[in-house]
Structure 1
Amino acid sequence: MYHYFTVDREPTQVMQQLLSLVKNKPYFVVTSNIDSHFINSGFDPNAIFEIEGNCRFMQCETACHVTLYDAEQKLLAFYAKQENGSIPTKLVPKCPKCGGNMKLNIEVDSHFVKGATWQENNQKYRTFLDQAKNKQKKIVLLELGVGLRNVLIKQPFMNFTYYNSNVCYITFNKGEIYVPIEIDSQSIALDGDIGQSLSEIVGLNGC
């Protein structure tokens, strides 16, 4: 999966279109993607918060300490040696502190390590929103393909819209559109293909 999603993967048309819409404006990306696609597509690395981690890094399976380790070479070694979805047991990395197994730094359980980079990017995201809010700038929250039950991105976006009259909340999602009545007048909901919708918006903006 790592090889498929990250190695020699060209930026998609959707990513290129999205970048063309925001590149000349102040922006910040908060994403549940765990594959560096925004960075690889040319977005500013200092304006990206991967809220559920990144598959390029690994941590102790039981989070016995909070250091993260680059996993790329390990993952590529897995890819080279895998057969029918299995790899030699000896390739499974061990924690340098407790000797237990290592795992990818992705939020799938309570042992997810929110390391120094996670904390720093979280603070950058909060600061970006606070500065925009305090200056009463017009803010667009552009939400792409976030599920109805998401509490890490969708719920905070809707709450932020409710408490700030200068915010426009735009949600793209095929077959899963929900906008609370309390923010209906500040919201735009687009049910359909994200790529097609972005193409139309890019065309209207002359990007």
Structure 2
Amino acid sequence: MNTHRVPNLTAAARTVRTWLGEADRVLVTAGSGLSAAAGYDYGDQERLKELFPALHRMGLRSRYIVGVHLPPALWWGYWAVHIDDIRYTPGPNPLHQRLRALVADKEHWVMTSNVDALFARNGFAPERIFTPQGDYGRCQCTVPCLRTTWDSHPLVKGLLAAYDPATGAITDPAALPHCPNCGENVEINVRIGPQFVDEPYLPAGNRLQEWLNSADNGTRLLILEFGAGFNTPDVIRTPGEHLTRHLPNTRLVRINPSHPQTPADLRRPPRTGPARPVRHRPHARRTRQRAARRVGPLDEVAQTSNRTWLQGLADLVVCDGRQRPTHGGPLSGLAHPRPKPRTVFEAPRCIAAVGNSLAADDDQVAAEPARSAA
């Protein structure tokens, strides 16, 4: 049960817009909750029944089928329809376009666990989007015999041409894909196991790391996090918290209906009075090393899909930090972060409502000036 205190959405949005105005750079991070709010909810039973009537009759109740064993004809029938709906639906998405307009005049990057390319399809620069979990727009060999991927769109179109909605199966065995190099099976290029080919995404991850490292101590970074839960926290949530700890002048905005909480050290006010003595703790160095490995850099991500989606209410949680530790990089281990002043508040609304409020006209926002956190 969510017991967080929730202020007025308009007041919360004014504060976030003020923080956005004060920021020099913006890092937009997103989990599956943002795609759900944009209309691609993997748990939507009506949509699932509409797209997959045969599989629904067989008992399918979620569009997460990793680990589900189906015959190849049904397996590829599902993936062809699913990818065509999620990845290749034509036309703009209003929510992502509002987000793009919100950060248009700021130097910004995107990091997302979503594999639907909704950011790139709605005006965000592809070269500034890091998708460590892969992309429905790419295929790979299941072995893999080569560390390469290829465009999935021709495959999807060929499969749909042989798809029977009544049975949910691909009716032409010749349409089932095989690796063009070795003849083995093919799979979509998303992170579902150690065979995942991540080479297409590493350059963007490196560029993002360089961008973060290039900031000087006066650069003000705002992290806008949307719909990132705990199925793969090391992909979105933990890196955002870690950056807030270790980069100076960094603020974190977290929008999440079920898990809006931030770690206590991000909300703790700065300590006053004399410093407490440092006490020796056995194995402390080993513990810090394990913590550093657990958090890891941006390219050390979990290998399971994010299953958190946003329905109903969402909480807006904002953290504000001002101080940087004197050691380690922004994505290094968690050793001894210094306490930093924080401001935390929540507002109950869905992501779409928050997006609408943040995208309100400047005149509406200026009618009641917001007080920026110190």
Question: Shared fold by TM > 0.5?
Answer: yes
8 Å CA contact 1:168–1:187 kept in 2: the answer is: no
Q: Hey, what does 1:179 align to over in structure 2?
A: 262
1:64 pairs with one of 145, 152, 156: 145
Runs of at least 4 residues off by over 4 Å: 186-191, 204-207
Cα separation, 2, equivalents of 1:108 and 1:5: 18
Q: Hey, what does 2:322 align to over in structure 1?
A: none
8 Å CA contact 2:115–2:190 kept in 1: the answer is: yes
**Which range moved further: 6-15 or 95-104?**
6-15
Cα separation, 2, equivalents of 1:130 and 1:121: 14
Aligned AA (1:203): A
SS in 2 for 1:78: helix
Q: Hey, what does 2:28 align to over in structure 1?
A: none
2:209 pairs with one of 126, 132, 140: 126
1:188/1:94 Cα in 2 relative to 1: closer, same or farther (>3 Å)?
A: farther
1:7/1:97 Cα in 2 relative to 1: closer, same or farther (>3 Å)?
A: closer
2:177 aligned with 1:93: yes
Q: How does 1:138-149 map to 2 (within 5 A)?
A: 138-149=220-231
Q: Hey, what does 1:3 align to over in structure 2?
A: 84
Cα separation, 2, equivalents of 1:173 and 1:161: 17
**Superposed displacement of residue 50, structure 1:** 1.3
Cα separation, 2, equivalents of 1:111 and 1:166: 39
2:157 aligned with 1:73: no
Q: Hey, what does 1:114 align to over in structure 2?
A: 198
**Which range moved further: 2-11 or 99-108?**
2-11
1:106/1:165 Cα in 2 relative to 1: closer, same or farther (>3 Å)?
A: same
Percentage of pairs with the same residue: 23
SS in 1 for 2:188: strand
Q: Which has the higher contact order (CA 8 A, sep 6+)?
A: 2
SS in 2 for 1:35: coil
Q: Hey, what does 1:41 align to over in structure 2?
A: 122
**Which range moved further: 91-100 or 192-201?**
91-100
2:349 aligned with 1:192: yes
8 Å CA contact 1:170–1:187 kept in 2: the answer is: no
**Superposed displacement of residue 197, structure 1:** 0.8
**Which range moved further: 189-198 or 163-172?**
189-198
8 Å CA contact 1:29–1:49 kept in 2: the answer is: yes
SS in 2 for 1:182: helix
SS in 2 for 1:28: strand
**Which range moved further: 7-16 or 160-169?**
7-16
Aligned AA (2:221): I
Q: Deviations over 1:102-139 (max 9, x none)?
A: 11101111111012x3111111111121122x353110
Q: Deviations over 1:3-34 (max 9, x none)?
A: 21233432222111101111110000011111
1:24 pairs with one of 105, 111, 126: 105
Q: How does 1:159-170 map to 2 (within 5 A)?
A: 159-170=242-253
Cα separation, 1, equivalents of 2:162 and 2:234: 38
8 Å CA contact 1:171–1:189 kept in 2: the answer is: no
The TM-score, its normalising length taken from structure 1, stands at 0.91
Cα separation, 1, equivalents of 2:153 and 2:86: 12
8 Å CA contact 1:58–1:104 kept in 2: the answer is: yes
**Superposed displacement of residue 62, structure 1:** 1.8
Aligned AA (2:360): G
1:63/1:186 Cα in 2 relative to 1: closer, same or farther (>3 Å)?
A: farther
Cα separation, 1, equivalents of 2:178 and 2:219: 49
**Superposed displacement of residue 61, structure 1:** 0.7
Q: Hey, what does 2:163 align to over in structure 1?
A: 82
**Superposed displacement of residue 46, structure 1:** 1.2
**Superposed displacement of residue 94, structure 1:** 1.4
8 Å CA contact 1:169–1:186 kept in 2: the answer is: no
Cα separation, 2, equivalents of 1:40 and 1:201: 21
Cα separation, 2, equivalents of 1:105 and 1:187: 38
8 Å CA contact 1:148–1:177 kept in 2: the answer is: no
Aligned AA (2:237): K
| Number of aligned positions between the proteins | 205
**Superposed displacement of residue 189, structure 1:** 4.8
Q: Name structure 1 gaps, 5 residues minimum.
A: none
SS in 2 for 1:157: helix
2:137 aligned with 1:137: no
**Superposed displacement of residue 186, structure 1:** 5.4
